[in-house]
Amino acid sequence: MKILMVTMFPPPVTGSSLASKMLADGLCRKHKVKKLDMIINTSFGNLSEQGSISLVKLAKSVFKTFFFTTRTLFGEKFDIAYITPGQTVMGYLKFVPIMWAARFRSIPYVIHIHGAYFRNMLNNANGWKKEAIENSVKKSSGAIVLGDSLRSMFKEILPEEKIFTCPNGVEEDFFSTEEEILKKTKRWRNDDTIRIVYLSNLMESKGILDLFESIRILKRCRTKVHLDVAGAIEPDIQDRVKDFLKELESEVRYHGILEGEEKKILLQRNYLFCLPSKHPFGEGQPLSILEAMANGCGIIATNIGGITEIFDRSYGFVVERGNPEDLAKTIIKVWGKNDIPSSSWNQAKKLFSANQFLERIEKAFQQIASP
């Protein structure tokens, strides 16, 4: 199969860009794949800047959209186009001309939404923008969502048979071995320190400041706790992050931006993974949670987007958004359940491997591309 991928690849490192890279690497082993990278800014910025317009950003975006639309119109013919538009109005619209070009060439295209905000964005759009977005979905050959709870984003726009549920996956070499999980369980049972890890970009909307505050609460209660943090820091909260790191220097260590083996080692070292997100764009199915499960971590997160579809009560625990006190109490509660590593790891093995992710996407492609 000849596949055109119009998406975002790292850098910057985000869950969706990593998922696109993983998918491209997998597809290239069996199919002919052409990658068109829609990233405009390779550096990590503020959430408030997402969907905003500057002259430089607009010029770069228009040029890239025009260039890729022209290539789609006059270049090689593909069996299917895989497109991952953004979840802001402008972030989505820059993909629409490429969708039009694919349709003009009779190339079926599928839209993959890496999140939970699409319907909110569509409802808040108006005029020609809303019409263009809705029409692009209706004319598509299908849409991919990360979990069954997110299928409603396309309700009354696409028929049920054109909505495909394809959960994310984790690369096979990122999983801990069964022996490593057994050793981790033994360490947990004998450790006197609660070891927590946060692996995501350090954004206020991802709950990092709430997590720091919960560590402060635990410290005041004389609870032995250690937090490892890694990811790019949102410029808007850089000073507050530095203040927390200074105040909690004995309890918190910031590792910068980690990838690959370094990230895996950090997950293996810790017992609990926390993502107390309150992101206004919602969460789809965070790759960071799946990676934590692949290394036997208990999961503590908010009920937002498709997160709780990953959860099993044996290893996953929900906390209130924006409530550091509830987060601190939940950390103490989960710390007493030291049989978590095997259940978390087994669930990841069963449902969320990269091969399973690839197979689900390929199955959707085959259904779409078949006459």
* CA separation, residue 157 to residues 79, 109, 141, 282, 351 (Å): 24, 16, 12, 20, 29
Q: Give the model's pLDDT for residue 49.
A: 54
Helix spans in 207-339 (H): 208-220, 238-247, 260-269, 287-293, 324-335
Amino acid at 130: K
Tally: H helices and E strands in the chain: 14, 12
Residues 347 and 312: beta-carbon distance below 8 Å: yes
Show the CA angle centred on residue 295, arms to residues 257 and 203, nearest 5°: 35
Q: What is the pTM of this model?
A: 0.90
Q: Give the model's pLDDT for residue 25.
A: 95
Q: Give the model's pLDDT for residue 188.
A: 96
Task: Give the separation between CA 35 and CA 370, rounded to whole angstroms.
Answer: 22
Q: Give the model's pLDDT for residue 43.
A: 59
Question: In this predicted model, what pLDDT tens digit does every residue of 191-222 receive, in sequence order?
Answer: 999 999 999 999 999 999 999 999 999 999 99
Question: In this predicted model, what pLDDT tens digit does every residue of 242-297 receive, in sequence order?
Answer: 999 999 999 999 999 998 899 999 999 999 999 999 988 878 889 999 999 999 99
The first and second tokens of residue 223, run together, are 């609870």
- DSSP notation for 356-371: HHHHHHHHHHHHHH--
CB atoms within 10 A of CB 314: 14
Query: Which residues, given as ranges, of the chain have pLDDT below 70?
Result: 42-54, 371
Q: Give the model's pLDDT for residue 15.
A: 83
* CA separation, residue 42 to residues 11, 59, 138, 256 (Å): 5, 16, 31, 17
Q: Give the model's pLDDT for residue 42.
A: 65
The first and second tokens of residue 162, run together, are 């054109």
Q: Give the model's pLDDT for residue 56.
A: 80
Q: Give the model's pLDDT for residue 186.
A: 96
Any idea what DSSP says for residue 115? S
